[in-house]
């Protein structure tokens, strides 16, 4: 299957700082990338959908000014958590879609905000 990487795999930051998470499709071109958040023992919740070169579409309740998404190319999307607070601590997972049927997930990034 296709490979999606995320960097960093984990990050610890102080409250009020911004954190950038990269998502790369290594061996395919992802026309659509998705960003999910997963709290412990809970399901993945879709945060936003982004298409290359256009603005991301955010799910209801997700603050677009807090979670900045950039999909600059068909192989790279970034999620920036601005002014992070402890309640933003979570497991962030991206996925890349190649078309209607398939979506490949990255290994996730664990964010801890102190």
Q: Between 42 and 83, name the residue whose CB sits nearer to another protein.
A: 42
Question: Which residues, numbered 40-99, are part of the site for another protein (CB under 8 A)?
Answer: 41-46, 49, 91, 93, 95, 97-99
Binding mask 2-21 for another protein (x = CB under 8 A): --x-x---------------
Where does this chain touch another protein (CB under 8 A) — which range of 11-19, 39-47, 64-72, 79-87? 39-47
**How far is Cα 54 from Cα 66, in angstroms, rounded to an integer?**
18
Least gap, CB of 23 to another protein (angstroms): 10
Query: Is the peptide bond between 28 and the residue preceding it cis, with omega within 30 degrees of 0?
Result: no
Nearer to another protein, 14 or 41 (CB): 41
| Burial class, 96, CB count within 10 angstroms (exposed 0-12 / middle 13-18 / buried 19+) | buried
For another protein, the closer CB: 14 or 100: 100
Query: How far apart are the C-alpha atoms of 61 and 30, rounded to whole Å?
Result: 25
Question: Cα-Cα-Cα-Cα dihedral of 49, 98, 7, 56, to 10°?
Answer: -20
Report, in Å, the least distance between residue 44 CB and another protein: 5
């Amino acid at each position: 299957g296709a490979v999606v990487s995320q960097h960093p795999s984990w990050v610890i930051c102080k409250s009020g700082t911004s954190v950038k998470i990269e998502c790369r499709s290594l061996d395919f071109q992802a026309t659509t990338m998705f960003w999910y958040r997963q709290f412990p023992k809970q399901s993945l919740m879709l945060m936003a959908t982004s298409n290359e070169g256009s603005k991301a579409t955010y799910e209801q309740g997700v603050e677009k000014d807090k979670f900045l998404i950039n999909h600059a190319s068909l192989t790279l999307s970034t999620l920036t958590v601005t002014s992070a607070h402890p309640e933003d601590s979570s497991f962030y997972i991206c996925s890349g879609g190649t078309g209607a049927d398939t979506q490949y997930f990255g290994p996730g990034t664990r964010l801890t905000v102190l």
